[in-house]
Amino acid sequence: MNLEIINIGDELLIGQVVNTNASYIALQLNKIGINVSKITTIGDKGKDIETALDLALQNADSVLITGGLGPTKDDITKSVLAHYFNTTLMEDSKTLEKVRNYFLQRGLPLTETNRRQALLPQNANIIDNKYGTAAAMCFEKNGKLVFSLPGVPFEMKEIMPEVLKILQEHYRLSFIEHKTLLVSGIGESFLSDIIESWEDALADFIHLAYLPSAGLIRLRLSAYGDDKDLITKELNKQIDKLLPVIKDYFIGFEQNNISQAIAERLMKLNLTLSTAESCTGGNIAHLLTLNAGISSIFKGSVVAYSNEVKQQVLGVKADILQRFGAVSEQTAIAMAKGIISLLRTDYAIATTGIAGPSGGTAEKPVGTIWICVCDSNNHILTANPFFPTNRENFIERASNEAMRLLLKLMENNGH
């Protein structure tokens, strides 16, 4: 079963908004065995919407549209779809009540513009939007379902479970199972080389995808078919074969990133963590705190962007900063020891480096970083990778590498 996604919005074509909806929707659909065959992004133009919908209905079994459902003039999806499916817009009293309440709760009046949100196509199945005023819709044409969802990401996310339910009921889906292995510390091509013979011997119904991001690779194995038991058995067999080959780089199953791996492991063991961040600027703390429930084990962080803070809050000695510099192994160690004794945690991570674009020297160019991780028993690991890239990518890679080093220390400790 193939589905095409159509994302509507001038903001996507002029590049001021990143299309995070497409990946979120594709991930959800994949999990229930729906293959996304194409994603098309177009502007808020009636003709483009109709052409894209024509094409998608020719090639796919179902279509999911996002965007263009707001109350402002540039949003035309609803009226274009009403025309496409030969119906008219009518004010829906139940929806009007909902829209009125939405603004009432926020102490705001119901304007004429917002009242338009209650105008809905007569032949569409309406899906409730808990977080916003734009109702989602489901049309049917020749047995194919066409969904229209709001483009605001968190509104769309709330509506997706209902969309998945409708899709599962309407289509007979073949079984699909995924296993994702998070791998770190090896480049894509080297990983490909060491698993080549294993990959070549995979059965036809198993597909392997490399999903690299800054310093990480997710290996995704997907098995399709009708015999659930056969698929699961073969998938597990292949994973058992793969694990010994990648054991030096394997971090965990079904984890999107290292912060999730750390969060899950520490929460299970009830061990606490703190970070002292210079060049990563709070990003490690940010990544860790995206994990729900982490407040039980993550005590906090000191972002020490200036030497003053390194000295006064983390207790890094002026002598160390002077002799070795702020970006040095000695400073990284002093920062890690400083934060672990300040916040009294079981583990700590410290980073100091030069994110650029300025601030580099011949001896310590932009991209230089020192990382130190330590535990409350004074075990220490340091690393000095080099990420000569742009500022944003440097921060991302440095954060991942620092968290990877923590996992290494935890493994050394049997955690």
Interface of this chain with a second copy, residues 61 to 120, rule: CB under 8 A: 70-74, 108, 111, 113-114
116 burial (CB, 10 Å; 0-12 / 13-18 / 19+) is middle
Q: Is 172 exposed, middle or buried (0-12, 13-18, 19+ CB in 10 A)?
A: exposed
Out of 49, 258, 284, 334, name the contact with a second copy by CB under 8 A.
Answer: 284
Question: Which three-class secondary structure state does DSSP give residue 253?
Answer: strand
360 is an interface residue for a second copy by CB under 8 A: no
Nearer to a second copy, 314 or 410 (CB): 314
Q: Near a second copy by CB under 8 A, which window of 11-19, 228-236, 246-254, 262-270?
A: 11-19
Q: Taken in order 390, 391, 394, 396, is the CA torsion positive or negative?
A: negative
Distance CA 88, CA 79 (A): 8
CA separation for the pair 208, 226 (Å, rounded): 19
- What residues pair up with 121 in beta bridges, in sequence order? 89
Residue closer to a second copy by CB (options 299, 364) is 299
Q: Which residues contact 335 (CB under 8 A, 6 or more apart)?
A: 276, 278, 304, 310, 314, 316, 350, 351, 352, 372
> Quick check: helix, strand or coil at residue 91?
strand
d(CA 349, CA 340): 9
Can you tell me which of 376, 382, 390, 413 binds a second copy, judged by CB under 8 A?
Answer: 390
Does residue 40 belong to the site contacting a second copy (CB under 8 A)?
Answer: yes
Stretch 158-197 residues interacting with a second copy (CB under 8 A): 180, 187-190, 192-193
Q: Quick check: 374 and 412 in contact, CB under 8 A?
A: no
60 lines the binding site for a second copy (CB under 8 A): no
Q: Which of 78-86, 90-98, 212-220, 232-240 is the region at the interface with a second copy (rule: CB under 8 A)? A: 212-220
Taking the complex as a whole, how short is the minimal distance between the CB of residue 123 and a second copy, in angstroms?
A: 26
Token code pair at residue 112: 């004429």
Count of residues interacting with a second copy (CB under 8 A): 104
Of 95, 238, 259, 283, the one binding a second copy (CB under 8 A) is: 283
Among 123, 227, 253, 357, binds a second copy (CB under 8 A): 357
Q: Is 37 in the site for a second copy (CB under 8 A)?
A: yes
> For the window 309-338, what string marks contact with a second copy as x by the rule CB under 8 A?
x--xx-------------------------
Which residue has 């379902």 as its token pair?
145
Among 15, 143, 244, 414, binds a second copy (CB under 8 A): 15
Q: Of 1, 29, 64, 119, which lies in the binding site for a second copy, with binding defined by CB under 8 A? A: 29
Task: Give me the least distance between CB of 232 and a second copy, in Å please.
Answer: 19
Please give the full DSSP string across 175-233, using - where no structure is assigned: EEEEEEEEEESS-HHHHHHHTHHHHHT--TTEEEEEEEETTEEEEEEEEEES-HHHHHH
Residue placing its CB nearer to a second copy in the complex, 238 or 283: 283
Query: Which is closer to a second copy, CB of 87 or CB of 178?
Result: 178
DSSP secondary structure letter of residue 344: T
As measured in angstroms, the least distance from the Cβ of 86 to a second copy is 26
For the bound state, the minimum distance from the C-beta of residue 175 to a second copy, rounded and expressed in Å, comes to 16
Nearer to a second copy, 17 or 271 (CB): 17
Is the separation of the CB atoms in 87 and 169 below 8 Å?
no
The set of residues, in sequence order, having a beta carbon less than 8 Å from that of 281 and lying 6+ positions away, is: 303, 305, 355, 395
